[in-house]
Amino acid sequence: MKCFVCGSQQAKLIKRDHLFVESGLTSVTLKGCTFIACKQCGEEALQLRKPLVLMRAIARQLVFKPAPLTAEEVKFLRGHVGWSNQQVAEAMNVSVEQASRWATGNGTGAGMGASAEELFRILIFIECMSPAELAKAVTEIKALVSREGKQKPKRTIKAKPPVPLKIRLVAA
Ligand SMILES: [Zn+2]
């Protein structure tokens, strides 16, 4: 197969794991990546069939990361949804300088407070949803909220008052 760089016909497909620094993150490893590797010039061209799907999968994992985000991760998520620091600042009601500091970090992480990070993750998650997913979520919420109303009880029977949702959780 042909090498894109030197034109040699000696290139062949190889598979190996790859530290995906092209994503802007230094901690993402892609398992079993395909490369077009050339013996002639040493070029190894990474082949990704669905890079956008991949970036979205990474974003999803970061949104649900069980530990505080690093600055690099904040920057990745911001970029993933196509936001500038200015847009983060406006969405979160902070200064542009503050939004910029989150994406640069303070040495130990993004330095986002818990409530800011919670809001940031939620905003990113909403931005990440495809129009179809968003429509589905809206439909589900509408159905949940309007279920009682749609049953149209007889006029003589008073609609039942809302009942609190019973939630059972194991104490942590
Ligand atoms: Zn080559």
**Same domain? 35 vs 114:** no
CA of residue 20 to ligand 1 center, whole Å: 22
pLDDT in tens, 28-37: 999 989 999 9
For the entire predicted model, the pTM comes to 0.73
What is the predicted pLDDT for the residue at 14?
94
| Ligand 1 centre distance from Cα of residue 34 (Å) | 16
- Interval between CA 44 and ligand 1 midpoint (Å): 8
- What separation in Å is there between the alpha carbon of 6 and the centre of ligand 1? 4
12 Cα–ligand 1 center, Å: 10
Instruction: Quote the ligand 1 centre to 42 CA distance (angstroms).
Output: 6
Tokens of 134: 């968003």
Residue 167, domain member (yes or no): no
Q: Quick check: is 155 in a domain?
A: no
User: From the CA of 52, how far away is ligand 1's center (Å)?
Assistant: 27
Between 164 and 86, whose confidence is greater? 86
- Same domain as 140, residue 60: yes
Rounded distance from Cα 55 to ligand 1 centre (Å): 28
Residue 124 belongs to some domain of the structure:
yes
Q: How far is the CA of 9 from the centre of ligand 1 (A)?
A: 8
In a domain, 168, yes or no: no
Q: How far, in Å, is the centroid of ligand 1 from the Cα of 37?
A: 8
Residue 11 pLDDT greater than 80, yes or no: yes
Domain of residue 63, residue span: 50-147
pLDDT tens-digit map of 103-120 = 998 777 888 988 999 999
How many domains are there within the chain? 2
Q: Which residues contact 81 (CB under 8 A, 6 or more apart)?
A: 59, 124, 127, 128
Task: Please check whether residues 22 and 78 belong to one and the same domain.
Answer: no
